[in-house]
Structure 1
Amino acid sequence: MTRYYEDLEVGQVYKHPVTRTATDVDNLLYVTLSHNPQPLHIDDEFAKKTMHGTRIVSSLWTLAFVNAQAVMPLTLGTTLGNLGYEEIRFPTPVRIGDTIRSETHIVSMRESAKYPNAGIVTFEHVGYNQRNEVVVRAKQVSLHLKKAHAIT
């Protein structure tokens, strides 16, 4: 279902059905593609000596996965741009083998002063592991298309 600006309401919560177990391949591909040589993500011996005791998954992979779950139900074909992120937090690290689920909350909405064909929506994406611990919480500000200006 395509959701335009008018279809959204502050307070709505979307629980995303896709879950994902973070694998070693996910982590290694992400850090390789992003040129992130952090030994905490790629070096077992280094990671054993840290407070985590094991490698952890890149927090930006976690953010990307959780954010992407909102595309199909909320922004596919109706977002005109990502205006930014606010208050990104990673309170619990993701470990290889953790299963992540997510939900998105509509936090605020307002008309765009600059673009009459769109409104500005703030989404809060929250990711949880299999123990219901929050692994990421991030507010995303998006320019969202209005129905009268649908792109066909």
Structure 2
Amino acid sequence: MERPRYLEDIEPGESRKTYGRTITETDFVVHAGHTGDFFPHHMDAEHMKATPFGQRIAHGTMTFAIGIGLSASEINPLSFTYGYERLRFPKPVFIGDTIHTVLTIASRADDPKRPGYGRVVEEVRVINQRDEVVMACDHVYLVEKRKS
């Protein structure tokens, strides 16, 4: 189990980078099967040849799931996800791209509804092998405070 980190132990500006993960055609097929999203942008190579992308693009929800999943290498048992905000996909992800995630603590504050907890906002950037941001969001955590 990871070292428990209370709200007071987390500092804005902290940053970490995950390992990379290469996206495969199997990822596209499995994700489409799980979600029922067989949209031609993801599944029809011939259709996509005639688009500005020139090839199939990854599901945004798949990019999100893999990008966030990569960050699970560090788990704080004193925190849990409150939600995700400002989710964007500024660049496409293609089969064969290798992505990694960079996470930076943007802020830390008391939670207005829960006296024993604070909120941490972590800036999430999923980046491809060309150093392009392919997904961005803010991950909001509730983190237990030290008992006084």
Q: TM-score, normalised by structure 2?
A: 0.89
Matched with 2:29 is 28
- Could you report, residue by residue, the CA deviation over 1:82-141 in whole angstroms, capped at 9, with x for unpaired residues? 322222121110000000011101011111122222211111111111111111111111
Q: Which blocks of at least 5 consecutive residues in structure 1 are unaligned?
A: none
Matched with 1:137 is 136
Question: In the TM superposition, what are the counterparts of 1:3-152 in structure 2 within 5 Å?
Answer: 3-16=5-18, 18-73=19-74, 75-80=75-80, 82-148=81-147
Any idea what SS the aligned residue of 2:143 has? strand
Give the direction of change, closer, same or farther, for the CA distance of 1:78–1:109 in structure 2 (3 Å limit): same
Measured in 1, the distance between the counterparts of 2:78 and 2:29 equals 32
Measured in 2, the distance between the counterparts of 1:27 and 1:96 equals 8
Q: Which blocks of at least 5 consecutive residues in structure 2 are unaligned?
A: none
- Could you report, residue by residue, the CA deviation over 1:38-62 in whole angstroms, capped at 9, with x for unpaired residues? 1110111111122111101112111
Measured in 2, the distance between the counterparts of 1:146 and 1:69 equals 26
Measured in 2, the distance between the counterparts of 1:133 and 1:109 equals 27
Aligned-residue CA RMSD in angstroms?
Answer: 1.8
Measured in 1, the distance between the counterparts of 2:31 and 2:43 equals 11
Measured in 2, the distance between the counterparts of 1:50 and 1:4 equals 49
